[in-house]
Amino acid sequence: MGNVNQESDRPHPARMYDYFLGGTNNYDADRSAAKEILGVWPTIQVAARVNRAFMQRSTQFLASAGIRQFLDIGTGIPTEPNLHQIAQNLAPDARIVYVDNDPIVLAQSHALIASHPDGATAYLHADATDPDSILRSPQLRDTIDLSQPVGLSLIALSHFIDGDATQLVGTYLDAFAPGSYVVICQVTGDYDPAQVAVVREIYRARGINARERNREEFAALFHDLELVEPGIVPPHRWRPNGIISPPESHDAKVSCYAAVGRKP
């Protein structure tokens, strides 16, 4: 796609994340920024993998809790297993709408719309900070029944939202039925403030809005929601499938908070 090439001379969060995950959908500008970050936060690749594993476990949790409709905003470049594959493995009739604002994710979105025949998937190129354009889109209206609960997935997205993310999450949840869930994982400076501040400035110097949130700011994203056990924890400590608990020093390597909230 033409605009993909035009966008290749500046780094994008999706492609930097792809590099951290060991993918090949990234350009020199992405690799250069990613390597600068690795110099400051050498374990960010661990954080990316832990985050991805949290996406899998939280999606399994929602599907097991009966959620059959998912809105995944800030999807990222397709990385198997993608969210719809996790959800449809447990519930083949699950319906998923993916949203991202990166042109390379749009260019690769065919991998995201390969639904199980009993379910449905759709892809929308849109900005998370424009909820109206997402909630009113034909992709969402044709795929998701807003009278039924929705699982909203905002994983590794909110640290790229510099504005009032609490209000933004509230706007999405207001449109959803009781019994809906939101899943959030986001970078925090609570474990290593100096390191995370340097990383934030590397992103910002390249024109990417980035901000960490402390525990209080992260908790505010779940305002008016019931937190699912175990509440707010680093993502590797959220229902870790019986894996032996990692040492506390691991928390600073990951430097993220994760939680799942339910709309009563």
Strands 256-262 and 226-227: antiparallel
Q: Which of these segments, 71-79, 136-144, 225-233, 248-256, binds ligand SAM (CB under 6 A)?
A: 71-79
Figure out which of the listed residues 47, 55, 152, 182 binds ligand SAM, where binding follows CB under 6 A: 55
- Which distant-in-sequence residues (6+ apart) come within 8 Å of 152 by Cβ? 70, 71, 73, 169, 172, 173, 176, 180, 181, 182, 183
- The number of residues that bind ligand SAM (CB under 6 A) is 21
In the complex, least distance from residue 65 CB atom to ligand SAM, rounded to whole angstroms: 20
In the complex, least distance from residue 51 CB atom to ligand SAM, rounded to whole angstroms: 5
Task: Identify the three-state secondary structure at position 81.
Answer: coil
Number of CB atoms found within 10 A of residue 97's CB: 27
Task: Answer yes or no whether residue 256 interacts with ligand SAM by CB under 6 A.
Answer: no
Task: Answer yes or no whether residue 52 interacts with ligand SAM by CB under 6 A.
Answer: yes
Secondary structure element (H or E) that encloses residue 120, with its range:
strand 120-125
Q: Which of these segments, 26-34, 98-106, 135-143, 237-245, binds ligand SAM (CB under 6 A)?
A: 98-106
Whether the CB-CB separation of 34 and 220 falls below 8 Å is answered with no
Task: Answer yes or no whether residue 76 interacts with ligand SAM by CB under 6 A.
Answer: yes
Figure out which of the listed residues 87, 105, 120, 228 binds ligand SAM, where binding follows CB under 6 A: 105
Task: Identify the three-state secondary structure at position 262.
Answer: strand
Residue nearest to ligand SAM (CB): 76
Whether the CB-CB separation of 36 and 206 falls below 8 Å is answered with no
Whether the CB-CB separation of 148 and 68 falls below 8 Å is answered with yes
Figure out which of the listed residues 25, 33, 44, 74 binds ligand SAM, where binding follows CB under 6 A: 74
Task: Answer yes or no whether residue 235 interacts with ligand SAM by CB under 6 A.
Answer: no
Lookup result for tokens 């959803």: 176
Q: How far is CA 116 from the centre of its chain?
A: 22
In the complex with ligand SAM, the residue whose CB is nearer, 69 or 186, is 186
In the complex, least distance from residue 55 CB atom to ligand SAM, rounded to whole angstroms: 5
Task: Answer yes or no whether residue 122 interacts with ligand SAM by CB under 6 A.
Answer: no
Task: Answer yes or no whether residue 129 interacts with ligand SAM by CB under 6 A.
Answer: yes
Q: Which of these segments, 29-37, 50-58, 90-98, 239-247, binds ligand SAM (CB under 6 A)?
A: 50-58
Task: Answer yes or no whether residue 210 interacts with ligand SAM by CB under 6 A.
Answer: no
- Which distant-in-sequence residues (6+ apart) come within 8 Å of 116 by Cβ? 84, 88, 92, 93, 94
Strand partners, 98: 72, 123
